[in-house]
Amino acid sequence: MHSDRKLIEDRVARTLHERLRREIHTPVAALELSVWHVDGGLVDAEHGEPVSPQHALAQEYLPSRVGDAWGPAWGTSWFHLVGEIPESASTERLEVIFNLGFGDIDPGFHAEGMVYLPDGTVLKGLNPKNQWIPVDSRTAPEGRFEVYVEAAANPRIASPEGYLPTLIGDKLTSGAEPLYRISRADINLFDAELWELCQDLETLSELSRELADSDARRYQILRAIERSLDVIDLQKVHATASLARAELTEILASPAASSAHRISAIGHAHIDSAWLWPLRETVRKVGRTSANVVNLLEHNNLSGAADFKFAMSQAQQLAWLKDYRPELFERVKELIRQGRFIPVGGMWVEPDTNMPGSEAMARQFVYGKRFFLEEFGVETEEVWLPDTFGYSAALPQIVKAAGAKWFLTQKISWNTVNKFPHHTFNWEGIDGTRIFTHFPPVDTYSSDLSGGQLAHAARNFQEKGAASHSLAPFGWGDGGGGPTREMLARSVRNKNLEGAPRLSIESPADFFRAAEAEYQNPPVWAGELYLEFHRGTYTTQAKNKQGNRRSEHLLYEAELWSTTAALTAGFEYPYEALDQIWKQVLLLQFHDILPGTSIAWVHREAAESYAEIAAQLEEIITAAQHALAQGSEEPATLLVFNSAPHQRAGVPARSARPIASEPDIETLRSEAEGWLLENEHLRVAVDAQGLFSSVYDRDQEREVLSGPGNLFQLHPDFPNDWDAWDIDEFYRNTAVNLVELEWMRADGPQALLMRRGFGESWIEQRIRLAPGSKQLELSVTVGWYEKEKLLKLAFPLDIQAERSSSEIQFGYLQRPTHANTSWDAAKFEICAHRWVHVEEPGYGVALINNGTYGYDVSRQLAAGAKPGQPAGATIRASILRAPRFPDPQTDQGVHRMEFALLAGSDVLDAVRAGYQLNLPERRVSGAASVEPLVALDNDAVVVSAVKLADDRSGDLVVRLYEATGGRARAKLSTAFGFVEVLETDLLERPVAAKALAQTEGALELQLRPFQLVTLRFRGAGC
């Protein structure tokens, strides 16, 4: 039998491929085709591309036929399909096959179609793995088949040769040549029995290949397959299919072992909200995928249909469905009520979780969970982020504060160095919160439930002996498509099959409940879930990062000043405007937009969106501040508005005061070898190359640097794969120090201006030391025209620090500066928000930024270090990259960014400086000082939001957190009256029955390290 094994396996493979599958559909009649090509020039609001079905169905269609070309990249063609049902086939099961020119490629990365009935009702989607259209009472009510197909000519961005630079990723540069040809359009007999035989044979042959040579079950299966193939007559497959199936009945009925691994399968279609397609196209992908799922749930009568359930994440995508396909949304809503279509995840999109700020991360849950609650009455309890590029250590606390308790991802299986040691565990965040977490061992979020994938899940599962249960999301994903009827057939055959894991379709919540009950003392993983891959996403498309950072802080300001003005100056709080802006910012945090890994079209639109967001928020902030500043009849003066959560220059946090005069004190003077910047705290020597030869802390009487600082370094940046995503470690093997200056000169009494050129690019830098300041301000403007290069800015510090601290949401994270273990070494590029800080006992230095997220912090010797000198810690900011795929013009152009080197600082100093750089003061002509609505007496307790409650009750909501990693006591006082104050979750729902007690008109707060607290002041302003 051993010698026959391969013979039988090859025989079944060829028989399936060349004969049986080809016979499932037998053509009985051709279709008459006509077409209307959408004019790409249609840009008006009503009929801009993509057009509505109502508009498209009313157009004049021209004759078309199989073989006709259609579709320039990103174009749309509408096909009208008409055909008479032959009387001889009127009692048979019929299906139309309509092939738009699909190649042998996974769904979602190629041409796609949506099928509509003649009244404009959605029927189902078409893709390379789903080319059939049912012929039934919906499509052929009187014996005449008629549908319309909206065909999207989405181009294949990645060529067969790999990820090569291409201009096809933007409609502005993609060209006008048609990409596709219609290859098939006919009415067919569908042989359901033969289709079921194919599923039987596929399931068993896949299982046999996964069993060991020594396993008798393998040979029992092969013998059964051989008998089945012997029975079938390849010239009469339709007549002999039932006989062939009968030979497999017994082998398919043999049950799985009681100890077999258990897999909970759930239908899914991970749809990237933008990636190798624009947002516009994602709206249609959501419609096509949802239509396919609804059709399977409502009309599939083949095997596997009865148990089918489907989970969909990303509230934004369901909101699109509501807005653009309302009739389909209503069908989805009914299936949700039945528990068959299941909202999961509870976030607005599946965002990047490294770069979004504190409030933005919270609002992802607020907007996502609220949509599911308001539209469906569903409280999602699991976080669903299968494809995001690493996970912030702040997430467990945020998840819990949002009312969720489980977390799922698959992405950490992509680690390139260290295999993650668990599949089910408790994940502990920076504040100590733990979340029950699962990584599906099937190692994909788009399983097809093949025998190979199910066997891999069972073999790979790392909790053997302690747990026996895992999850497998199945369905075509990334570009959408979802489950197919073939996948459902595999699910029913693998439900209880000897030699295979036991499989059942069930909701993610049911899986998590069962897994948690089974595994009551799982291991704990503390800290971030760092992805050892895609490290370039902290830097790629720098303007995305800056737009996001600026939008987050403008939203903070808009809410703060609108709330202050609403409670004290009769200002109308802009609920609708803020709501829409938040949703747009959250959408742009999707994990292929904010990380910079989408096509050019996506990033072009993101830049336009960020500009519009900034303009809208500036208008709101200006209106609110003017309403506050004009609150007195006193003569007008100039007020300074301080939005930051800490006092600065005599202006309390969240208040406005008359501006104090600023003496024009000189801190800059020329020296023989360069320039000197000096005030009462710092003395900074700048040499003739524009490098910092010394940063001397006069207060502590110590040198800050271990080598030349302010050093720009240029590296080659050509990773082995995934250009926009990856920075590979070998980039460090080669570096060019950019030390040549074109010129350097004074820029007033406190600043130095310099310019350096390299290649086709240039850097202009302004260095300023203000009187009385311990931070050195660095404004950087780069004209960037390099290709496949990485630009770094280095500051070697004379500080012996084994760890660096990087700001993350609601706190900070410490990471090693050494490479003692493979886990340490893999973190050669890290993410930080507003600051990175290194410290030895008693002394620290921080690098502050206003929109740069990528860094490396290491114990390497500085350039020019003296022999025997200790390494210290070097902070390097990743300024710009220049990958060529998927956007060949990534980051080309002029960029502006701000940094500050803060000497002699602790973490709290870095927190203050980070907020102040990102929330610059505003100066407004007015007459009255503005008092803060809320005041705190401990700077370690930071307010991240002041806003009116989302339910429009007029209640005030304040969110705050402990920022330094220690326990903190603080008094919170208010400048308004209120009925009571309640602690709430992120959705502003009370988490305790009792109101918080007050002492002498103030709240006494006691916070644990990094604790996040949301307070709701009921009846604010009364």
Beta 637-642 vs 341-343: how paired, if at all? unpaired
Q: What whole-number distance in Å separates Cα of residue 894 and Cα of residue 782?
A: 6
CA distance 185 to 846: 65
Active-site residue identified among 170, 191, 200, 387: 387
B/e letters for 473-509, b = 16+ CB within 10 Å, e = fewer, are bbbbbbbbbbbbbbbbbbbbbbbbbbbbbbbbbbbbb
What would the two tokens of residue 812 be?
Answer: 């900070």
Angular region, 998: left φ>0, alpha ψ -120 to 50, beta rest: beta
Distance CA 518, CA 466 (A): 8
Closest CA to 875 of 849, 900, 898, 847: 847
**C-alpha dihedral (596, 600, 603, 607), degrees to nearest 10:** 140
Question: Cα–Cα distance between 792 and 539 in angstroms, integer?
Answer: 11
Q: What tokens were used for 326?
A: 């309302």
> Any idea what DSSP says for residue 689?
T
Judge contact between 519 and 467, C-beta under 8 A: yes
Q: Which of 470, 485, 621 is nearest to 551 (CA)?
A: 621
Strand residue runs (E) in 748-788: 751-758, 761-769, 775-784
Three-state DSSP at 975 gives coil
Buried (b) or exposed (e) across 32-42, using 16+ Cβ within 10 A?
Answer: ebbbbbbeeee
- CB-based contacts of 662, cutoff 8 Å, min separation 6: none
Among 847, 852, 887, CA closest to 169: 887
Gap between the Cα atoms of 830 and 536, Å rounded: 10
The pair of structure tokens assigned to 868 is 């025997």
In whole angstroms, what is the distance from residue 454 CA to residue 463 CA?
16
Specify the pairing of strand 743-746 against strand 751-758: antiparallel
Q: What is the rounded distance in angstroms from the CA atom of residue 588 to the CA atom of residue 603?
A: 10
- In angstroms, the CA 958 to CA 1017 distance is 8
Residue 19 gets the label, from left (phi > 0), alpha (psi -120 to 50) or beta, of alpha
Alpha helices in 463-587 (DSSP H): 485-493, 508-518, 542-568, 575-587
Write out the DSSP string of 108-175. Answer: TSS-EEEEE-TTS-EEEEEBTTB-EEEESTTT-TTSEEEEEEEEE-----SBTTBS---STTSTTTS-
Residue 215 is a catalytic residue: no
Letter for the amino acid at 53?
Answer: P
Q: What angle do CA 707, 709, 715 make, to 5 degrees?
A: 100
Per-residue CA distances from 801 to 793, 832, 837 (Å): 20, 17, 10
Tokens at 926, concatenated: 């007015």
* Residues across the chain: 1022
Residues 6+ positions from 747 with CB-CB distance below 8 Å? 753, 766
- Return the residue matching tokens 């590296």: 715
Tally of CB atoms within 10 A around 158: 14
Active-site positions?
Answer: 387
